[in-house]
Chain A
Amino acid sequence: MSHIATTTTRIKSGNSSARNEVETALNKLKDIESYHAVLSTLEERALKRADEIDKAISEGKEVGKLAGVPFIAKDNFLTFGGTTTAASKILENFVAPLQATAIEKLELEGAICIAKANLDAFAHGGSTENSYFGPTKNSVDQTKVAGGSSGGSAVVTALDVVPFALGSDTGGSIRQPAAFNGVVGVKPTYGTVSRYGVVAMASSTDTIGCFTKDAEDAELVMSVMAGRDTRDMTTLSDFFTPETGDTTPRKIGVIKECMSDDVDPEVKARVNEYIDQLKAAGHTVEEVSLPIIKYALAMYYIIVPAEISSNLARYDGIRYGYRAEDAKNLEELYGKTRDEGFMAENKRRIMIGSYVLSSGYFDAYYQQAQKARTLLINAYNDLFKNYDVLVGPVTPTPAFGIGENANDPVKMYLADIMTVPASLAGLPAISVPAGLTREGLPVGIQFIGDRKSDAKLLALARSMEAN
């Protein structure tokens, strides 16, 4: 039985209670403090909600599908009961006046948010080292990074603190830390889950997804969160229906360019072993080519900083958040607040964004990237005429050392090279555990599908888990 089903069964049968589950998870958090996976707990509110759910159960009332299940949200989801910091100084003391739609939907089904997970400040990064509050450590090896930007969420799932955790994925921020920690990570089709109440990064690729131990739990969490929200006009009407038990043989393409000699040999070996299992399970596997993929990272680091520079303009020290002291005039107040409130990586991205949007550079960078994006989407569309799923590694290497890439932004960006293409095209992509390196570090395989094929990807992962 999956982790969520085990938890809800325990509670409903009277062998446990929502309060007991919440208290147990909060205690586990204390045991794993050295990983620095969470920034705050929502203990008071979580226990209150647990008691309400226990009362409803004792009175024989209908309770939701996730009644009493504790979870942890990345600290860029606005939640009641504590701060929402985006792991930044500028929002260090920010208390949200509202909750994200995703959180509200999970709460309606009885799930209980117990803590807020660490991330790279404003989700800018691939290691959680850009957190203003310090890095999260990898669940398997504390000298390695957790991945990012949703590093904390991946680690609390891997260490069994909670059955599921929430993250956001703009260019790999769920899939890459899922791979680095050996858990399932889901980045849905763009528009699947409302982003209302989640700190915006890059509006044309931001998505909301989850971390779980297996595909079954991911199906459940995604089916609860998916659907149209009038507060996020980019949401699609709910198409997500779990295809549990679907073992139809699929036509699978292995993206040649993602299996080059630049990929760590052990990562390649684990992915190839998984591919052999797919073949053994009756799926057709062929090599496919997506040459334009080599330009995807350059497109991404033009388009996303452009959107960041615009989205982060709102942090000005006026209406909420940190305000620098002793500013003599308004301009100095903006400039000092933002300089003191943002991390170096935030500033790099904002300034690159300002650069590519400047008149004189707009056509050469931003417009060229958006045209290249069309070519990338067309290339994917051509492949999906003949293939159901595309596979490859999630990352070119296993988790790297803390500090190893910290002074080389381009090297850090290269860790996203396998994950950004699906983001630019708005495609669903999931990270599935594919074994360990000799050193014991997790490796992930990525399944990429056509738009709205999210449930198919999870059904495939689920059928492989059963093998």
Chain B
Amino acid sequence: MTHVTREAVQHLAQLSQLQLNPDEVDDLTADIEAILKYIEQLSELDTSGVEPTYQVTDLENVWRSDKVKASDVTREELLARAPAAEQHQVKVPKVL
């Protein structure tokens, strides 16, 4: 049985780019342990020699011509949706 520690949850949060507050870590630790406990039953199933299914359309390599199509949406319309923009660029906190 998987035991989920607070540290493991904090690691998962980091992988998921979530900065959790301490109360949330407690709740999520309990929830994630309960969910993992449920989904672990799948290990009972014998799947040896079975190919995995990743998609169900039966479609293969849907091709299109490699041509640039004009978009209905302009650069200005998209920039207007950014929380911060300056000089036709999206503005972010200092990276380096």
Spell out A's residues near B (CB within 8 Å): 94-95, 97-98, 190-191, 204, 230, 233-234, 236, 292, 295, 297-299, 301-302, 309, 313, 316-323, 327-336, 338-339, 342, 344, 347-348, 350-356, 358, 364-365, 367-375, 377, 408-410, 413, 425-426, 451
Contacts and interface: CB of A to CB of B under 8 A. Distances in A.
22 contacts: A97-B73, A234-B57, A234-B59, A236-B59, A295-B41, A319-B81, A320-B78, A323-B83, A330-B93, A333-B93, A335-B17, A339-B21, A351-B12, A351-B13, A352-B35, A365-B39, A372-B42, A374-B51, A409-B31, A409-B35, A413-B35, A413-B38
A295 B50 CA distance: 16
Interface of B: 9, 12-13, 15-21, 24, 27-28, 31-32, 34-45, 47, 50-57, 59, 62, 64, 72-73, 77-78, 81-84, 90, 92-95
B78 A97 contact: yes
Contacts of A299: 42
A213 B34 CA distance: 38
Contacts of A317: 83
Q: Can you list the 9 inter-chain pairs with the closest CB atoms, starting with the nearest?
A: A335-B19, A426-B56, A370-B52, A323-B83, A371-B47, A320-B81, A298-B42, A371-B50, A334-B17
Contacts of A333: 92-93
Given A319-B78, A355-B36, A364 B43 contact: yes
Contacts of A309: 16
A352 B44 CA distance: 20
Nearest to A299: B42
B56 A295 contact: no
Given A295-B41, A318-B90, A332-B19, A354 B83 contact: no
Nearest to A358: B15
B81 A295 contact: no
A230 B64 contact: yes
B51 to A, nearest CB: 6
B39 to A, nearest CB: 5
A356 B27 CA distance: 19
Contact of A425 (B40, B56, B78, B95): B56
Nearest to B40: A298
The secondary-structure label for the interface of chain A is helix
Contacts of B90: 318-319
Contact of A350 (B16, B50, B94): B16
Given A318-B90, A372-B42, A374-B51, A410 B35 contact: yes
A43 to B, nearest CB: 23
Contacts of A336: 19
Nearest to A366: B52
A321 B78 CA distance: 11
Contacts of B39: 298, 301-302, 356, 365
A361 to B, nearest CB: 9
B38 A301 contact: yes
Given A302-B39, A329-B95, A374-B53, 17 more contacts: A204-B55, A295-B41, A302-B42, A317-B83, A319-B90, A323-B83, A330-B95, A332-B93, A338-B17, A338-B18, A338-B19, A347-B24, A348-B32, A375-B47, A375-B50, A409-B31, A413-B38
Nearest to B20: A339
B18 A342 contact: yes
Contacts of B94: 329-330
Contacts of A97: 73, 77-78, 81
Contact of A371 (B52, B56, B83): B52
Contacts of B57: 190-191, 234, 236, 426
Among A97, A234, A330, A331: residue with most chain B CB under 10 A: A97
A333 B94 CA distance: 11
A286 B83 CA distance: 59
A95 B84 contact: no
Given A339-B20, A375-B50, A318 B92 contact: yes
A374 B52 contact: yes
Nearest to B77: A97
